Chains A and B, each alone.
Chain A
Amino acid sequence: MMEAESNSAPSTARGPLRSGRIVRRYFLIFATLIGGSLAASLLVELGFRFAETRQELDIVHHQMAELAALRIRDYVEDISQALSMAAMPRQLIDDRLTDDYLFNLRILIRNTPAIRDVFAVGLDGREQFRESRIAPSVPNTNANHSSDAFFTAARAGKIYFGPVIFPPDSLEPRILISVPIEPFPGEVMGVLAAQVNVRYVWEVVQGIHIGKSGYAYVVSDDGLLVAHPDLHLVLQRNDLSSLPQVAALRAADSGERGTGLYRSLTGHAVLVSYQRIPNVGWTVFVERPLLEAYAPALVSLGRTAGIFLAVSALAVGAAVRLGRRVVTPIEALRRGAGRLEAGDLNARLSLDTGDEFEELADDFNRMAARLQEAHERLEQKVAERTGELEQSLNEVRALGDTVQAVSASLDLQRVLHTIVVHATELSRSDGGLIYEFDEAAQVLRFRAGHLVRPEFVSALEADPPPLRDSIIGRAIERGQPENIPDVKTDPLLAHNVALLAEGYRSLLAVPTVRSGRLIGGIVLGRKVVGGYSAREIDLLRTFANGCTIAIEHARLFLEVAQKNAALQSASQHKSQFLANMSHELRTPMNAILGFADLMSDGIYGELDERMRKPVEQLQANGQHLLRLINDVLDLSKIEAGRFELNFAEYSVDEIMEALQATARPLAGAKGLALRVSTNSKAGYCYGDSKRIFQVLLNLVGNAIKFTKRGSVDVEVFAKGDEIYYTVADTGIGIAPDDLGSIFDEFGRGDRAVAKEFVGTGLGLTIAKRFVTMHGGRIWAESTLNVGSKFYVVVPRRAIDLGLTGVATQ
């Protein structure tokens, strides 16, 4: 969690990474520049050094090889020359060598120590003379050499150098050298051959030392090792033709000399130089181990590498120091900037690097100081604005509270009093008055005051402010608040003296206008000179505007309350009237009907025929009047919303059975067929069964009443959530024009017809009311002189709307 947080903070997470990058970059640049150039020069130096060394070494080595070759050649040539000199016969007899030739040979052997044996061969190839150093006076072998190479070469006039021979009886290698014996040029008369000890060659080779372990050796053209410092190798008769350097020499036809890098017999890397000795067919090889040859170069190389490393280390150190020198101030700057960013405006830098960084730090500090200053100014401003805002808010809140308090009451006098109290306190005035404009009298009437003496109030009440010269009058005239900073300087002002006597010096009047209609105004006073600030005036104007609504509401409420009271008393009167009428009508009705009944029952003696009819009329009309009274009462109660339905569960079929039982005698009396469906299976419903029954009975009663012949059919069925009742008759029917009004009070069809049939004319009206109160509907279909059909539809479950029922239409 902590890590996540620190990672999410940009300044702390990125910082070290960045400076690390700089150090690394600087280091890399330095290392690449210095190290690279050093390494490059080193490599170049190395290359040149090795090449030069090699060149020098090759020259030296080759000189040695050449020298050795020269010495060997001279040696061999000396011998061959001595041989040639000795070959010249001092005497010739018959073109044959004489015996004194042997003497020649003896001198030769004595003068030339390298010659071991010497012998002369005649043209026929037969050996004629022989002289030996080891065994003097050896007999002539008389061997035939006519097919030997040395004989044929010398016979042809050439000097012949034979291959190296290692005789089994000696440790010294020998070669055979032969020269022609020609006393005159072109006249060969024999061949002189000598066995030459080439030990001297070995001595020459052994005398060559190059460096510590450089050496030379000689190889013949046929690959045989002729001379080597290690004599054993020579004696082993090593064939070196497979050695790369020898092979290379033999491959290069024209190569009399050369150099190269090869491997020695012992497998070491060696620098090789060689020089061929043409007349003998030998080659001198000078070899030196590579390591030894290059040792001085390597030592020098080591020194150079050491210097390189030292310089590199210095370079790295310098790079790091320089990097630090650059990065440390940058890091300090960055940290400072980070602190600024984090809101620490006290962040300052102290860099005394004495360079641009220090200047930068100074700039940074100046910037931070300015930022801090700006921030402080800003904070101060914010604090000021916040203060102002808070003040405004408090004022608005006070205003809201005040307007709410004012609006809390609907009593006009109380509203006005609350307004003047709040206006006085809101403006911190020393007194306040509120006036109401009497439109009829065109006069401002004092309505309430706050912090004013009663004596002053009564004085004001006695003398209403004139509409022109009073402060409130001026405010009303201008439609703007009127501000008087000093009453003393305004002698024309009405009540000037009285106001000054009360101590008021500053005055402010604010008119209250609602929808362009003058309602009145508020007057406020202070007992100091100076008047009210624009801000206070604004506040009071807003307040006054808010209050006009409250005043208007209170005025309206007063009006409504007055009207309502009148209505209520009217309604009460009506109810009382109904109750009284009910009582007052029923009491005499009871007497009239009671006496008629008693008379009809014969309590006062048997009635004679003449009296019976009038008594019956008395009874019938009395009953009719009673029904009328009852219906009117019912209707009045319904219209007044005082008729209560008694909602309960009821059975549709029970209603139908009761209907049948009640209506059957009526229908029977007129000879009509009455069919009532009593098996609706509609089950139980919710509603006022007594009223539904009353409605249906009314319809059935009407149907029987208006039908002379035929039948009355009552049916019931459930459809959806509703119960449908229908009452159909075969009576006189209703004219289409009258169908719409039959449910209105006294709206029975044709008046002539109505007169013929007895009824109150209120039954259908009441029926409709009851049905409507159930949330149902009632209507009729009819054809004149054919019959009528009434429909009553009520919800299966009526919604009880409460005790008052529905005061409809």
Chain B
Amino acid sequence: MSPRILHVEDNAANRMIVRDLLEFQGYQVVEVLDGEQALAATERERPDLILMDIQLPSISGLEATRRIKAREHLRRIPIVAVTSFALSGDDTKASEAGCDAYIAKPYRPRDLLQIIQKLLQSGSATG
């Protein structure tokens, strides 16, 4: 069974890129548009990995991450923070919220893929 990835992103073009990239690589992609939906989708879909955009309408990606990580049964799901802020300290904020990795926009699709693959490998190795 191919890994299922939850992509939280409000920009349609960016959702399309990730979907095209990941489906091309054989992953299942579930998409939601904001943090609130992200929480519900995680509970419902139990994805193998979450790609979380930080700048989101309603609750922010960081807040959504905190809530997911607060739930015992969801805590193991790796979360990759995607941010468009290149300001120093974003990575720290992300890791403080509980994110397992961090990538800044604009990213090269192959770099994103590398991070995902790495996290899934280490996750399956430990889990």
Contacts and interface: CB of A to CB of B under 8 A. Distances in A.
B108 A593 contact: yes
Contact of A587 (B24, B86, B105): B105
B85 A583 contact: yes
A594 B17 contact: yes
A195 B6 CA distance: 202
Nearest to A626: B106
A598 B106 CA distance: 13
Interface in A580-596: 582-583, 586-595
Interface of A: 579, 582-583, 586-595, 597-598, 601, 603-604, 626, 630, 633, 637, 644, 646
Contact of B11 (A591, A593, A595, A603): A591
Given A593-B106, A601-B109, A582 B17 contact: no
* Shortest 3 CB-CB contacts between residues of A and residues of B: A591-B13, A590-B106, A586-B84
A587 B20 contact: no
Contacts of A593: 106, 108
A588 B13 contact: yes
B58 interface: no
B15 to A, nearest CB: 10
Nearest to B104: A586
Interface string B10-37: 0101100100110010000000000000
A698 B5 CA distance: 39
Given A591-B14, A601-B109, A601-B110, 13 more contacts: A579-B87, A582-B85, A583-B84, A586-B86, A586-B104, A586-B106, A589-B106, A590-B11, A590-B84, A591-B13, A593-B106, A597-B108, A630-B86
Nearest to A630: B86
A121 to B, nearest CB: 185
Contacts of B21: 594, 598, 603
B85 A598 contact: no
A603 B24 contact: yes
B60 interface: no
B56 to A, nearest CB: 12
B105 A590 contact: yes
Contact of A595 (B17, B86, B87, B104): B17
26 contacts: A582-B85, A582-B86, A586-B86, A586-B106, A587-B11, A587-B105, A589-B106, A590-B11, A590-B13, A590-B17, A590-B106, A590-B107, A591-B13, A593-B108, A594-B14, A594-B107, A594-B109, A595-B17, A597-B109, A598-B21, A598-B109, A601-B110, A603-B24, A626-B106, A630-B86, A646-B88
A582 B84 contact: yes
B91 to A, nearest CB: 13
B95 interface: no
A637 B87 CA distance: 9
B13 A598 contact: no
B99 to A, nearest CB: 18
A588 B88 CA distance: 21
Interface in B64-102: 84-88
B112 to A, nearest CB: 9
A481 B119 CA distance: 86
Contacts of A586: 84, 86, 104-106
Nearest to B53: A587
Given A587-B11, A591-B14, A604 B20 contact: yes
A601 B85 CA distance: 26
A644 B84 CA distance: 19
Contacts of A604: 20
Contacts of B85: 579, 582-583
A72 to B, nearest CB: 166
Contacts of B24: 603
A602 to B, nearest CB: 9
B101 to A, nearest CB: 17
Nearest to A595: B17
Contacts of B55: 583
Nearest to A625: B106
Contacts of B86: 582, 586, 630, 633
A587 B88 contact: no
Contacts of A633: 86
A583 B82 CA distance: 12
A374 B20 CA distance: 115
B20 A598 contact: yes
B20 A597 contact: no
Contacts of B20: 598, 603-604
B35 to A, nearest CB: 16
B17 A591 contact: yes
B109 to A, nearest CB: 5
Nearest to A637: B87
B113 to A, nearest CB: 10
Nearest to B111: A597
B109 A587 contact: no
Contacts of B105: 586-587, 589-590
Contacts of B88: 644, 646
Interface string B26-59: 0000000000000000000000000000010000
B84 A598 contact: no
A698 B67 CA distance: 42
Contacts of A644: 88
A649 B109 CA distance: 35
Contacts of A626: 106
Nearest to B13: A591
A637 B89 CA distance: 14
A604 B21 CA distance: 10
Nearest to A594: B17
B17 A587 contact: no
A592 B106 CA distance: 9
Contacts of B11: 587, 590-591
A589 B104 CA distance: 12
A582 B86 CA distance: 8
A582 B54 CA distance: 14
